[in-house]
Structure 1
Amino acid sequence: MKWIDKLERKYGKYGGINNLTLYVIICYVIGYIISIVNSGFLTWFTLNPEKILHGQIWRLVTWVFLPPSNGGVFWFVIAVLFLYYPIGTSLEHTWGSLRYTIYIASGMVFTIIGAFALYLIAVYGLGYDGVSDGVWNYFTTYYISVSVFLAYGVSFPNMRVMLYFIIPIKMSWMSIFYGVMIIYEMISYIRMGAWFMAVLIVASLLNFVIYFLGTRDLQRYNPKEVHRRNEFRRAMEPKSRTGQNGAITKHKCAICGRTEQDDPNLEFRFCSKCNGNYEYCQDHLFTHTHVK
């Protein structure tokens, strides 16, 4: 993530949005209250590219207010107060407000791009008259919240959380479980014909994919780097040396083949001028032809 490091060095004094997690939660609460009072009013908040292209540009922002879950008040409070808020604030304190703001903002931008990509594919690629209004109700910040959870698991893999307030489990295993469940969801949606959900999931989690790859040492998978490591490993592997009777020995002259078993008084040295791991006895150390 070198480009973020450059931004922090150049604009770090301006920082990002402090307590961003709290502001996001306030948006959730407002949207949840609206859904209880008048759920139909939320249709004016959805991320609908067709409506946006016809002048309703406020939808580029208001879709953030859509509740990320409809599992009831109890599960909404549990998810917000005991999961998203502590994890989000912990990441913000660890990364810094600028890096955390970029992470959340990029997830929102990628979700918007995914919505427009879905609309263009459906209308201009597949020839549909339009996309059902109900589809855009799914474009919420739910998977962006999941991306925060996954990023926390990568940043603190050994941190333990209490699953259902009872079972202690490492964040690394929780992240793997969430990753498997997301892949299963995508496959299930595609098999059911709801491929738009796969577009939503990929777009919303693209910020995590970029973060994960950006924090990995991908240079080690470079073919040249792999070849260099293999050559070094082969050069460092101890080579078996056998004497005339077939026994394994520590030393063996590359010219005459004698070992310490042939003469215990023989001295052996490696030649620094030969290219490779060549050892010679005292009689051939200074008389051999150097290997180039």
Structure 2
Amino acid sequence: MNWIDKLERKYGRYGIPNLTMYMVICYVLGYLLMYINPGMLSMLSLEPAMILKGQIWRLVTWVIYPPQTGNFLLFAISIFFFYYPIGSSLERTWGTFRYNLYIFSGLLFVLVASFLTYFITGRMYLVGGVFTTYYVSMSVFLAYAACYPNMQILLWFVIPIKMKWMGWVYGAIILYNIITYVRVGAWVMTVPIIASFLNFILFFFPALSGSRYNPKEVKRRREFQKAMAQSRVNPSTGSAAKHKCAICGRTELDDPNLEFRFCSKCNGNYEYCQDHLFTHQHVK
């Protein structure tokens, strides 16, 4: 069992369902403040120097900064037609707790990095406007591309393209930005980028997380679920079975008198017929 499994078993009940929706609401509030009262928005930014002077609300309120999209139309498209769907899909794939852990760990890394940067530079204006949730949101995009590499979307609602290619292109852009910032001496700009993607490294490098939710495993799981769904269809009648034994493969369509039960000692949703409920080997 890896450390993510242990955390989920102990704190899984504290997961926040539909976290992406709450983040979208924060972005909308931030976008409105950007145009209605920019001064108030600046009072909510992540500024370690001001936090150390007592403005502790900044530890939380900085998350309302919306992604910089230039205008409302691009903002609406990126949030409601792109970020929210992929975030919700990723939550359904991983489960509520793991998705929460991915988001909050990204925010925590950015928060810690902002304080480290301030302690190193001692310059307040180099930090407050740099550390936002933008790259944390983009790490969700990369996670989705890693889990669903062959998912095809319409770029600009016209060009069909697979997620894996978009992920590689975005990764190349990020690498180019980091190199550019370093070359011009603006290394501080690279800190939030690197900090925001530490959660991606933790989740998708098995040597660090031991996570079962790597892209290949997600693909195998989808294929297995698809095969299981097809196997439950009776070829003669075309009707689908509601129950299937994980050992013998029989369903209620094979014998209406069969009884099926889930095993509470198996890790996962394994269902067995009456003949194998007490004789099977528990899945651990």
TM above 0.5, yes or no, is yes
Task: Choose which of 158, 183, 200 in structure 2 pairs with 1:208.
Answer: 200
In 1, are the aligned partners of 2:3 and 2:209 still within 8 Å (CA)?
A: no
2:73 aligns with 74
Partners of 1:7 and 1:34 lie apart in 2 by 36
- The answer (yes or no) to whether the contact 1:17–1:97 under 8 Å persists in 2 is yes
Secondary structure in 2 matching 1:9: helix
Which residue of structure 2 lines up, in the alignment, with residue 227 of structure 1? none
Identity %: 53
Partner residue of 1:88?
87
Normalising by structure 1, we get a TM-score of 0.69
The residue that corresponds to 2:139 in the other structure is 147
The answer on 1:157 being equivalent to 2:156 is no
TM-superposition CA deviations, 1:265-290 (whole Å, max 9, x none)? xxxxxxxxxxxxxxxxxxxxxxxxxx
Q: Is the 8 A contact 1:110 1:203 kept in 2?
A: yes
Q: Give the distance between the partners of 1:146 and 1:209, measured in 2 at CA.
A: 13
Partners of 1:83 and 1:105 in 2: CA distance = 20
Query: Which is greater in Rg?
Result: 1
| 1:79-228 pair list within 5 angstroms | 79-123=78-122, 130-132=123-125, 135-214=127-206
AA paired with 2:146?
V
Structure 1 residue identity aligned to 2:156 = Y
> C-alpha offsets along residues 154-181 of structure 1, whole Å, 9 cap, x if unaligned?
1111111111111111111111111000
Distance in 2, Cα, partners of 1:192 & 1:41: 32
Contact persistence 2:2–2:209 (CA under 8 A)? no
Distance in 2 between the 1:69 and 1:167 partners?
A: 24
Cα pair 1:189 1:197 within 8 Å, conserved: yes
Report whether the alignment pairs 1:3 with 2:11: no
Distance 1:47 1:217 in 2: 29
Q: State the secondary structure of the residue aligned to 2:24.
A: helix
Cα shift readout 1:45-69 (whole Å, capped 9, x = no counterpart): 1111111111111000010011221
Check conservation: 1:15, 1:97, Cα contact below 8 A: no
Instruction: Indicate how the Cα distance of structure 1 residues 164 and 215 shifts in structure 2: closer, same or farther if over 3 A, else same.
Output: farther
Give the Cα–Cα distance (whole angstroms) in 1 for the partners of residues 57 and 206 of structure 2.
33
Per the alignment, in what secondary structure is the counterpart of residue 169 of structure 1? strand
CA contact (8 A) 2:20 2:88 kept: yes
Runs of 4+ with >4 A deviation: 215-218
Distance 2:75 2:9 in 1: 38
Counterparts of 1:2 and 1:173, CA distance in 2 = 30
- Specify whether residues 217 and 196 from structure 1 end up closer, same or farther in structure 2 by C-alpha distance, changes over 3 A only: closer
Structure 2: stretches of 5+ with no match in the other structure = 211-284
Using a 3 Å threshold, how does the CA distance of structure 1 residues 120 and 83 change in structure 2: closer, same or farther? same
Distance of 1:65 and 1:216 partners within structure 2:
30
Structure 1: unaligned runs, 5 residues or longer: 124-129, 219-292
Q: 1:107 to 1:217 in 2, by over 3 A?
A: closer
Aligned equivalents of 1:170, 1:55: Cα separation in 2: 47
